[in-house]
Amino acid sequence: MKERLEALKQEALQELSDVQSQQELNDLRIKYLGKKGPLTEVLRGMGALSAEERPIIGQVANDVRAAIESVIEEKQAAYQQQETENRLRAEMIDVTLPGRPSEQGAVHPLSKVIQEIEDIFIGMGYTVAEGPEVEQDYYNFEALNLPKDHPARDMQDSFYITEEILMRTQTSPVQVRTMEKRKGEVPIKIICPGKVYRRDDDDATHSHMFTQIEGLVIDRNVRMSDLKGTLLQFVQEMYGKETRIRLRPSFFPFTEPSVEVDVSCAMCGGVGCRTCKQTGWLEILGAGMVHPRVLEMGGYDPKEYTGFAFGMGVERIAMLKYGIEDIRHFYTNDLRFLKQFLHL
Q: What is the CA radius of gyration of the chain?
A: 44
Strands 209-219 and 188-197, by their bridges, are: antiparallel
Q: Is 15 among the annotated ligand-binding positions?
A: no
| 190: β partners | 127, 216
246 and 262 in contact (C-beta within 8 Å)? yes
Q: Whole-angstrom Cα distance, residue 203 to residue 220?
A: 43
Number of other CB atoms surrounding residue 321 within 10 Å: 16
Q: Where in 220-292 does DSSP place strands (E)?
A: 245-252, 255-264, 281-290
Phi-psi region of 168 (alpha: psi -120 to 50; beta: other; left: phi over 0): beta
Q: How far apart are CA 84 and CA 78, in angstroms?
A: 10
Q: How distant is the alpha carbon of residue 50 from its chain centre?
A: 87
Q: Which residues contact 77 (CB under 8 A, 6 or more apart)?
A: none
Find the DSSP H helices in the chain. 2-17, 22-33, 38-44, 53-90, 109-123, 137-140, 172-182, 224-239, 292-297, 314-322, 335-338
d(CA 49, CA 121): 107
| DSSP-derived secondary structure for 70-120 | HHHHHHHHHHHHHHHHHHHHHT---TTSPPPPPPPP---HHHHHHHHHHHH
Cα–Cα distance between 327 and 324 in angstroms, integer? 7
Output the known binding site for Mg(2+): 256
Output the known binding site: 256
